[in-house]
Amino acid sequence: MNMKNIGLLLLFVSLLCSCDTKQDWYDSGICSPYHDCSIMEYLRGDTANWKLTVELIERAELTDLFEGNDPNYKEITFFAPPSFTVLRYVWDKATGKEDYPNDQSKWRPLTEEEGAYPERLVRALDKNWCREMILRHVVKGKHLKEEIGFRNMDYEIDAPAQNGGTDFTCVSGNKIRVYLEKSDYGSVPDAGAATMSVYSFTVMKQVPMSSPDIQPLNGVVHALNYNYLLGEI
């Protein structure tokens, strides 16, 4: 195994270890959610989790938006797909799994170059597609976990009678509902920390969350889980 592939394997391990589905580690005092930099600088500074996410933003030519230099979007909320999500997409695209998920006869192995340099696959994606994809994950303004409404547990999250949660329209036009639910602590119902979840009305699916409320200077990053499939928001 060459050094490039070893580095890629370490990236996988880092992602698997860093995605905290409990969503309570920022409240524990272990790690501060505040970052004295722009969202773009924060993402660039954590290559293990965001390397290919940054590549996707740069390919979409949306750097100004994430640096806080767009006058129409001084603050944003970014439901951020992790690097592993982007990696899985470009590898599936390269091998045919993305375009032909049910026809294995059209799949092929990754080339050595594709396996070693996935960033080149991101840079080859259509710019307009990348732009639309990134903007599906962006909401105007800064919206923290504490502002989100609790789900009415009497109804499914997508039920017409559901009057809980907080609805948003992303910059790309897709609609999501963000909501809180109380978790159990030990054997005590609803005694644990509140977890934040996302439901997409556009694709009619739950969006897996990891860590909310990462706060650079120009907004907030709510990290999606590594199980998230790119575009399913």
**Which tens digits make up the pLDDT trace of 135-166?**
999 999 999 999 999 999 999 999 999 999 99
Q: HSE on the CB side for 224, CA within 13 Å? A: 27
Asked if the structure places residue 229 within a domain, the reply is: no
Say which range, 3-17, 98-112, 123-137, 150-164, has the weakest mean pLDDT: 3-17
Q: Is the confidence at residue 187, as pLDDT, over 90?
A: no
Q: Is residue 56 a contact partner of residue 86, using CB atoms and an 8 Å limit?
A: yes
Q: Is the confidence at residue 14, as pLDDT, over 90?
A: no
State the CB neighbour count (10 A cutoff) for residue 87. Answer: 24
State the CB neighbour count (10 A cutoff) for residue 147. Answer: 12
CATH code, domain with 121:
2.30.180.10
Asked if the structure places residue 19 within a domain, the reply is: yes
Asked if the structure places residue 232 within a domain, the reply is: no
Number of domain units in the chain? 1
The long-range contacts involving 192-197, CB below 8 angstroms and separated by at least 24 positions, are 192/24, 193/22, 193/23, 193/24, 193/27, 194/145, 194/150, 195/22, 195/23, 195/24, 196/23, 196/145, 196/148, 196/222, 197/151, 197/157
**pLDDT for residue 189:** 67
Range of the domain at 153: 3-223
Asked if the structure places residue 228 within a domain, the reply is: no
Asked if the structure places residue 122 within a domain, the reply is: yes
Q: Is the confidence at residue 7, as pLDDT, over 60?
A: no
Asked if the structure places residue 23 within a domain, the reply is: yes
**pLDDT for residue 183:** 76
Asked if the structure places residue 49 within a domain, the reply is: yes
**pLDDT for residue 24:** 39
Query: In the structure, what pLDDT confidence band is assigned to residue 184 with cuts at 50, 70 and 90?
Result: confident
Please state the rounded mean pLDDT for residues 104-132: 97
Please state the rounded mean pLDDT for residues 89-104: 97
Asked if the structure places residue 26 within a domain, the reply is: yes
How far apart are the two ends of the chain, measured CA to CA in Å? Answer: 36
**pLDDT for residue 213:** 97
As given in the structure block, the two tokens for residue 214 are: 């990462």
**pLDDT for residue 3:** 45
Can you say how many angstroms the Cα of residue 83 is from the centroid of all Cα atoms in its chain? Answer: 9
